[in-house]
């Protein structure tokens, strides 16, 4: 489905790839962003768009000489990693419980961290510049080092998947953990304080921003890039452990040669050129989909996921959705669905089956097939996956 301009009066248009009308609060959030004087050209909303903080999750915002910390969000660099293995689905028979057990033993989830700093994590070159980060995180280095190689909670997950050709894939979703969250909060608060000091009018306090060339902008941009790199490397560390576990069970420990590897952010900002101008592009719950870019669009646990290749659609700022997108809040999902619903909707998946993850039930998310149909002009599907093991925090 091609985009449709929202029927709202704003200084720049809002183009939507969602096939549904936005609710009052969602429209208000879209209007607030599109009303900012530095927003470039238009705002793009992906098919999985839903309420966020300050800006909609599933929005792509290009800005001239400014950056909005809350639009990037608190899980800086959150994203996906996937590996296509040389193994076939029949090799998994009888081994799913053991693989899940090893994953839960080897990769900390939720608020947990590694007991010791992983050797690979300790060698990350980003530690050398930790002292240059915001003063609000200077006592968190030890925690950040131990959390490198950990999953987190919420909608973060580790999955063994099988594609339509019975090939086994490894997939995981995680971000910059506590260190990214604290860095983001420090800079969001600084932006809000700056707006108050300068009497800057904002339609929403969460849209407080920094102006390029200012010390505050430079500090945030430095920390943002650091956290994005931390998040990417965090996924690399976990994926290395994931590979070893699967190699142990499917190949007697013999190292495998991946057939395809993808690692992409979906909560981040970068400087890019669009419509002939250099702008700062914030993807809040969106994946870069330049021509030939590989991306990952997961469904909910129990639903399909997709490996895609970008088509470089200029109107979306070369972007696509980052998942199915929530249909309802976590509290509403817990109130509306039962444990029996969870069991039915995750049938055939080796995963937790308890009330602790009821808010992640597939029914709480939009149908991924419809989301994919709505962005046929943004990406082409390379592989369609279905999970057989899912680990959550």
The pLDDT, as a whole number, for residue 330 is 87
Question: Residue 147 corresponds to which tokens in the numbers above?
Answer: 């959390």
Is 368 annotated to bind a ligand? Reply is no
Is 158 annotated to bind a ligand? Reply is yes
Cβ atoms 59, 33 nearer than 8 A = yes
Bridging pattern class, strands 14-16 and 39-50? parallel
Is 189 annotated to bind a ligand? Reply is no
Is 295 annotated to bind a ligand? Reply is no
How does DSSP classify residue 246? H
Residues 52-77 as b or e (16 or more Cβ within 10 Å = b)? bebbbbbbbbbbebbbbbbbbbbbbb
Cα dist from 214 to 67, 130, 143, 191, 210, whole Å = 11, 21, 30, 12, 7
Q: What is the pTM of this model?
A: 0.95
Cβ atoms 204, 32 nearer than 8 A = yes
Q: Determine if residue 39 is left, alpha or beta; phi over 0 gives left, psi from -120 to 50 gives alpha, anything else beta.
A: beta
Mean pLDDT in order along the chain per 10 residues (393 residues): 89 93 94 97 96 96 98 97 98 97 97 94 97 98 98 95 98 98 98 96 97 98 98 98 98 96 98 98 98 94 93 98 88 91 89 87 89 96 97 87
Helices and strands, counts by H and E, the chain:
10, 17
Is 173 annotated to bind a ligand? Reply is yes
The pLDDT, as a whole number, for residue 366 is 85
Domains detected in the chain: 4-327+365-392 (3.90.1860.10)
Decide if 50 is catalytic. no
Residue 181, classed as helix, strand or coil, is helix
∠ CA 62-66-67 to the nearest 5 degrees? 75
Is 159 annotated to bind a ligand? Reply is yes
Helix (H) or strand (E) holding 62: strand 57-63
How does DSSP classify residue 6? -
Length of the chain: 393
Nearest to 161 by CA among 310, 297, 339, 344: 297
Q: Residues 42, 249, 265, 322: which is the catalytic one?
A: 322
């Amino acid at each position: 489905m091609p985009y449709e301009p929202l029927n709202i009066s704003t200084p720049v248009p809002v183009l939507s790839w969602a096939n549904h009308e936005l609710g009052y609060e969602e429209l208000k959030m879209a209007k607030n962003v599109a009303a900012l004087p530095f927003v470039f050209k238009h705002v793009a909303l992906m098919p999985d768009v839903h309420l966020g903080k300050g800006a909609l999750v599933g929005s792509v915002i290009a800005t001239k000489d400014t950056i909005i910390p809350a639009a990037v969000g608190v899980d800086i660099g959150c994203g996906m990693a996937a590996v296509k293995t040389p193994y076939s689905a029949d090799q998994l028979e009888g081994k799913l419980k053991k693989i899940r057990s090893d994953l839960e033993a080897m990769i900390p989830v939720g608020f947990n961290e590694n007991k010791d700093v992983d050797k690979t994590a300790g060698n990350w070159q980003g530690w050398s510049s930790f002292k240059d980060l915001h003063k609000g995180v200077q006592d968190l280095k030890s925690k950040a080092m131990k959390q490198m190689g950990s999953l987190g909670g919420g909608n973060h997950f580790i999955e063994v998947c099988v594609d339509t050709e019975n090939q086994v894939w490894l997939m995981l979703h995680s971000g910059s953990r506590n260190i990214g969250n604290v860095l983001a909060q420090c800079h969001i608060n600084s932006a809000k304080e700056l707006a108050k000091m300068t009497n800057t009018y904002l339609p929403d306090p969460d849209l407080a921003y920094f102006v390029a060339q200012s010390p505050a902008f430079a500090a945030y941009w430095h920390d943002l890039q650091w956290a994005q790199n931390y998040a990417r490397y965090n996924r690399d560390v976990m994926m290395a452990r994931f590979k070893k576990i699967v190699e142990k069970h499917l190949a007697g420990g013999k190292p495998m040669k991946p057939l395809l590897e993808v690692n992409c952010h979906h909560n981040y900002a970068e400087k890019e050129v669009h419509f002939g101008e250099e702008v700062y592009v914030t993807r809040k719950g969106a994946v870069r989909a330049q021509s030939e870019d590989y991306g990952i669009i997961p469904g909910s646990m129990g639903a399909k996921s997709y490996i895609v290749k970008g088509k470089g659609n200029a109107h979306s700022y070369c972007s696509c959705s980052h998942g199915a997108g929530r249909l309802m809040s976590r509290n509403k999902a817990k109130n509306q669905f039962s444990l029996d619903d969870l069991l039915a909707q995750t049938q055939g998946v080796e995963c937790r089956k308890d009330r602790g993850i009821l808010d992640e039930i597939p029914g709480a998310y939009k149908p991924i097939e419809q989301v994919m149909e709505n962005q046929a002009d943004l990406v082409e599907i390379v592989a369609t996956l279905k999970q057989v093991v899912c680990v959550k925090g």
